[in-house]
Amino acid sequence: MTKAPISADRSLLEGSTPLHFLSPSCALPEGSEAAARLQGFTGEREQIAFTEKSVLVGVGGEGRDPLAAGAASLKLPSGTYSVAAHPQSLPLEDIARGFALGAYRFHRYAGDGEGPRLVIPQEEIAGKIAREAASIFFGRDLINTPAEDMGPDALEDAARRLAGSFGADIKVYQGDGFAEAFPLIHAVGRAAGPGKEPRLIELNWAGGGDKRLALIGKGVCFDSGGLNIKGGKSMGLMKKDMGGAATSLALARRLMEEGAEINLRLLIPAVENAVSGNSFRPGDVFRSRLGKSVEISNTDAEGRLILADAMALALEGSPDRMITLATLTGAARVALGPDLPPIYSTEPQFQEKVLKAGRRLGDPMWPMPFWERYESFLASDIADINHAASTPFAGSITAALFLKGFAGQVPYTHIDTFAWVPSPLPGRPKGGEVLCLRALTAVLMGEEG
């Protein structure tokens, strides 16, 4: 994993390169005018200009991105840097966060991962951002790792290591009796090869207080589409189909590390949606753990199936809130693109807090409705429900409605994440991304009123 890109070590200030974070209205540092003019620097977002002794970083004007400082760490070479100036409207914490998140490098297979490092002498800010970045880098590493090295077994290992680091309890359901206990998870994952058998990973952490949170992350470690096989281009990024699981693990790490007063139950159904002679088929009907019979119409809509059985197990623990995180639908990307995960919730106040935190932290989402009239799109002639809609309309909504049917009366929130940055952005290098983590952490930690 990328080394901590933030340090509070004051001894590193000497010899560091000063960074001037500037908006278009800010005065240029003395002696930098010629270099700025030559390089076309005006303070607009993502601009960088090098002077003889410092670097100018543009952060834009009104409505700037809270992660704007991340443009620096995306573009700067390895080395140690310090903050010489920044606009009052861009707090030092935002600068540290943007810089840290942009400094991530995935180096498991190539390179040494050494990126730029920023010295923030304020220990409280430096410590907070370093911890936050470590959890985000943990999640990014999981998503970026190819399926050959990140199958259900490796995802289980990651969860076990996380549990061991924080004294959490862990249990893994698999093997004998699994098909009867979790019929939908087993159906999706039964075609995978040795060592990649389907399983359900459960991590429990007693953080105190009286609130019980069930957090469920989709762990499809590779999605071929099953018998409804994907085309080559569509299949190319499917190592990221466990992005919901990675985000859930990273969020659990944040909550445990910060000592959240939450009793957390994390559930990750981990499978590979593979093709073989025993693949599940369109037209099959399975009785879910909850007891509902589910007709299969598209094996490439597998994520909601494995989540449904995990949600049924979560219900048995009577949680106060249930959250599912999943790379669930292409329809969400058609509607909102890669940057904006749709958020569905039966808790309007909780949803608004998450949206507000997302705007403040540069971790945006967009509210979407559980539009109940579309439940008719999931009707089946031979089962209680069809798992995929009979129409191409409203694909993200119908997927969310299917899941809502397995949440019982528990307050329920679902986030349909992309878990990937297709082109680099400030604070978000190209590759795996744990979208929504920072906003959820802020709300669950009580930081967002």
Residues 343-383 have pLDDT tens digits of 999 999 999 999 999 999 999 999 999 999 999 999 999 99
Percent of the chain with pLDDT over 90: 93
Tokens read off for 365: 């989402």
pLDDT 10s digits, 118-156: 999 999 999 999 999 999 999 999 999 999 999 999 999
Kindly calculate the radius of gyration of the chain based on its CA atoms and give it in whole angstroms: 23
Look up residue 86 and give its amino acid: H
List Cα–Cα distances, 16 to 7, 22, 72, 96, 376, in angstroms: 12, 19, 15, 15, 62
Which residues are marked as active site?
230, 304
Residue 449 has pLDDT above 70, yes or no: no
Residue 27 has pLDDT above 90, yes or no: yes
Helix (H) / strand (E) element for 305: namely helix 303-315
pLDDT 10s digits, 164-173: 999 999 999 9
Look up residue 254 and give its amino acid: R
Residue 269 has pLDDT above 90, yes or no: yes
Burial of 140 (0-12, 13-18, 19+ CB in 10 A): buried
Residue 302 has pLDDT above 80, yes or no: yes
- pLDDT of 111: 78
Tell me, yes or no, if the pTM score tops 0.95: yes
**Backbone dihedral region for residue 192 (phi beyond 0: left; psi -120 to 50: alpha; all else: beta):** beta
DSSP assignment, residue 212? E
Instruction: Give me the domains of the chain, ranges plus CATH numbers.
Output: 6-114 (3.40.220.10), 139-444 (3.40.630.10)
Q: Are 122 and 92 in contact (CB under 8 A)?
A: yes
Tokens read off for 268: 């990750």
Rounded mean pLDDT of 417-442? 98
First to last CA, the chain: 33
- pLDDT of 4: 73
User: Helix, strand or coil for residue 338?
Assistant: coil
